[in-house]
């Protein structure tokens, strides 16, 4: 979604044939130190007037899955700071304040307190619930322009300690969850005319030995992106 210089690269220019949304991937931690510093808020660096214009997401709506913490939270807050209306998706649970509102609501509260617009969606990306995440975006904002697939965790147990069920539970959000959300979002992104899909993968798929669920799940995402471009 954002170019290497932090700009949005003018979305209409990047649409593919037949109005298909552009699909991209980002590998968290895959860049050499200093080559592509993460931007978590507009206060992280000085934005020049011309660059600020290029970073304007006013009028656009984004869904960010796995946005209650970490990279997903940074995606959601950065988009909101640049004018985007954001659906912050994460599973329900105890929020940072100890309240039962959950991490998605915590991020929404941070965005709203900073003057942005966001709503929480606590549906899972798996089990047929992905369509409910997209439905939340359409119900609240009437459109969808950007999807960032970031949901999924890592079970740190050794490979030999996994059971078939635990391994499947780890792989499913990374791979099938992303597929389900993409399928639900696709018609709305096509209708947008400037639709973008960003799939976040971990650099761990290239170098981690223990996290085989990342390799089996996120490691399939690059091939998935190739298929969606056809």
Task: Read off the pTM.
Answer: 0.69
Rounded distance, CA 220 to CA 30, Å?
Answer: 17
Residue 124: give the domain boundaries: 11-31+47-228
**41 lies in some domain:** no
What pLDDT was estimated at residue 121?
97
What pLDDT was estimated at residue 172?
75
**175 lies in some domain:** yes
**What is the Rg, in whole angstroms, of the alpha carbon atoms belonging to the chain?**
17
Rounded distance, CA 70 to CA 75, Å?
Answer: 9
Rounded distance, CA 72 to CA 175, Å?
Answer: 17
**123 lies in some domain:** yes
Rounded distance, CA 22 to CA 11, Å?
Answer: 8
**73 lies in some domain:** yes
Rounded distance, CA 127 to CA 35, Å?
Answer: 38
Phi, psi of 213 (to 5 degrees): -65, -30
What pLDDT was estimated at residue 214?
47
Rounded distance, CA 154 to CA 215, Å?
Answer: 11
- State the total domains in the chain: 1
What pLDDT was estimated at residue 168?
74
Question: Could you tell me the mean pLDDT of each successive run of 10 residues in the chain, 230 residues long?
Answer: 42 47 51 38 45 75 96 96 97 65 93 97 93 98 96 71 75 79 95 91 57 47 55
**38 lies in some domain:** no
**158 lies in some domain:** yes
What pLDDT was estimated at residue 158?
72
What pLDDT was estimated at residue 35?
38
- Half-sphere exposure for 86 (CA within 13 Å, toward CB): 35
Domain containing 70 — which CATH number? 3.40.50.720
What pLDDT was estimated at residue 30?
39
**40 lies in some domain:** no
């Amino acid at each position: 979604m954002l170019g290497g210089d932090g700009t949005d690269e003018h979305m209409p220019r990047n649409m593919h044939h037949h109005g298909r949304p552009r699909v991209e991937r980002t590998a968290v931690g895959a860049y050499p130190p200093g080559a592509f510093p993460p931007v978590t808020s507009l206060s992280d660096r000085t934005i020049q007037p011309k660059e600020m214009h290029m970073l304007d997401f006013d009028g656009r709506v984004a869904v960010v899955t796995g946005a209650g913490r970490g990279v997903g939270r940074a995606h959601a807050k950065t988009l909101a700071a640049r004018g985007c209306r954001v659906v912050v998706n994460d599973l329900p649970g105890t929020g940072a304040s100890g309240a039962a509102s959950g991490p998605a609501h915590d991020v929404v509260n941070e965005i709203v307190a900073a003057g942005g617009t966001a709503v929480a969606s606590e549906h899972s990306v798996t089990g047929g619930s992905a369509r409910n995440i997209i439905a939340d975006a359409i119900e609240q904002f009437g459109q969808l322009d950007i999807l960032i697939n970031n949901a999924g965790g890592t079970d740190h147990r050794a490979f030999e300690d996994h059971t078939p069920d635990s391994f499947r539970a780890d792989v499913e959000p990374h791979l099938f969850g992303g597929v389900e959300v993409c399928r639900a979002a696709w018609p709305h992104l096509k209708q947008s005319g400037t639709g973008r899909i960003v799939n976040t993968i971990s650099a761990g798929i290239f170098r981690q030995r223990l996290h085989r669920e990342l390799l089996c799940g996120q490691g399939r995402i690059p091939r998935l992106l190739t298929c969606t471009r056809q």
